[in-house]
Every structure is written in C-alpha cells, then in structure tokens.
Amino acid sequence: MEKTLLSFGHGYSARALARRLIPQGWTIYGTTRSADKMDEIRQTGVTPLLWLGTDLAPYLDQCAHLLISAGPQPDGDPVLLALGDEIARRAGRIRWVGYLSTTGVYGDHQGEWVDETTPLAPATRRGHARVAAEQAWAAIPDLPLHIFRLAGIYGHGRGPFAKVRKGTARRIIKQGQVFSRIHVEDIALALELSIAAPQRGAIYNLCDDDPAPPQDVIGHAAELLGLPLPPAVDFDKADLSPMARSFYSESKKVRNDHAKASLGWQPQFKDYRSGLAALLEDETA
C-alpha cells in the first residue's frame, strides 16, 4: 500500500510522474474517460480504470497516494462530485494528495511578479473554477493536500516545433506580455519529491526561472531549427480562438523560490532555451 497511487485524469503530467515511479516499484492506477485510451495507458505500466464506469472505492482503499489532474467542470470538481464523500471518509489513512492547479488563479499582474502569498484574483472563468476547486479540496478535514500551481506546460509532443516546421507559427506581439513556463519533467520531479516528504497543506508554484514573452519562444524555436523567423502579428489583429485569446488576458512572472526551498527542487530546464534544446535533441537521438 505504501507505493500505490491512484491518478485521476491520468494525462500528460501524470504520465511523466508514472515514468519516474514505476521503475521504483510503484503500483499506479490511472483513470480515463476514453475506453480507446485504455490499452495506451496499460502499455506504460499503469493499470487503466474507466472513469464513471468502474467502482473506484476499492482502489481508494488500496492506494495511499492520490493525484488529481482532472480539471474542474461547470458544476465543480469532477472527482469530488463523484467521490468526495468516499475520499473524506478515508482522509486519515491517505498519506499524500496532489492537486494540479494553475498559476491562472493569480489573474493578471501586468507583468509583475507573483508568489504563493499573492492574493488570488483570477481573470478568467477557468481561473475562477480552479480557485473553487482548490478551496473544495482544502475543505476536507484531515486530508494531506498539496496544491501545485503549474505555469504553461511544454515537453515531448507539446512544443512549438511542429507549427514552426509547418509554417503556421506566428509571433503574437502584445506589449508587455510575459508568461512563465514549466517542462513536464520538472513537474514530475517536484511531485516525486513532495511524495517522498509530504507537507500537509503545502502550496507550490511550479515554473522555470525565466518568464518570457511568447514571441521570444517561437523565435528561438525557429532559430534552433534553422528556419525563417515566423511573422510577427499584432495581438489586436491576430485571428485567435477565444481560448487562445484568453491566455493573453493575463501577464505575470511567477516565482518558484518556495518549491526550491521546501522541496529541494531545482528545475532541470531552467529556461525555455534549455528546454527546447533538450526536446530537439531527443527528436534527433
């Protein structure tokens, strides 16, 4: 039971954590809404469970650790809606719960710095939903909750290279816009360290050391590929989806000092330049 994890919404970041834990002898169960993904998950060494098609109570009894990656729905957190009472009844025997949230809970700070003590002021519907979900999880008595507020995630299969190669990448220019980012492997490392040394009630920002304008990242990706610089497009004139446009409604730099000091964590990819270089190297290895 010690090395057991139930992963709700077993997606990109959770899979990166599983790649670290399974070689150490962990048993991991991962939920998915899609029956088509069951074999894919199984091939990674994780036991797949169909969400809302499986009685998960027995797995809650088996697992000492829970990871929640599933995003909130309009009516609330899906895991709590389905299993909140079951989890609350077992709170005293669970060793660690990790909730993957977002730095979007801080809202817009016009390019200034934020840390874990910054008041939450989400500027988007998604941000408000994340704040509500954080609060709902924190309201469960005796639950060993750890909240991880993630910056923009990139990694293998999630980066700018594909669009740059296709010629569809654009450098969207919005004056003063800056984002923080995090390589998925650095998320997994922080989760692994937290599991090894739980600190009930902890909140961590996970991001790299170099917040940067998005156009700089696209431009550097093109440079690494030896391709022409993608065209610059003014944000006000850019043809963006509502979802993409909403990301530009917030500009901030996120501090990660607390995670470093508390977990002994150091991001392997300290900035987008080292992260993109590593991704390209992996592609050609």
Give the residues across from 49 on adjacent strands.
31
Gap between the Cα atoms of 254 and 206, Å rounded: 8
What pLDDT score does 285 carry? 62
16-53 confidence digits (pLDDT tens): 999 999 999 999 999 999 999 999 999 999 999 999 88
Residue 245's pLDDT is: 87
pLDDT for 66-125, tens place per residue? 999 999 999 999 999 999 999 999 999 999 999 999 999 999 999 999 999 999 999 899
What is the pLDDT of the chain when averaged over all its residues?
96
Maximum C-alpha span of the chain: 58
Domains and CATH numbers, the chain: 4-154+182-208+254-270 (3.40.50.720)
Q: Are the C-beta atoms of 6 and 29 separated by less than 8 Å?
A: yes
pLDDT of residue 247: 86
SS3 of 48-110: the string is: EEECCCCCCHHHHHHCCEEEECCCCECCECHHHHHHHHHHHHCHHHCCEEEEEEEHHHHCCCC
Is 145's pLDDT higher than 90? Answer: yes
Please name which of 256, 165, 273, 276 lies closest in space to residue 207, comparing C-alpha atoms. 256
pLDDT of 283: 84
For the segment 154-168, the average pLDDT, to the nearest whole number, is 93
Greater confidence, 169 or 53? 169
Tell me the pLDDT tens digit for each residue of 195-218.
999 999 999 999 999 999 999 999
- Confidence label for 57 from pLDDT (cuts 50, 70 and 90): very high
Q: Is 178:206 a contact under the CB 8 Å cutoff?
A: no
C-alpha 139/C-alpha 281 separation (Å) is 44
Over the stretch 222-279, which tens digit does the pLDDT of each residue have?
999 999 999 999 999 998 898 888 889 999 999 999 999 999 999 999 999 999 999 9
Q: Look up the pTM and report it.
A: 0.96
C-alpha 142 chain-centroid distance: 24
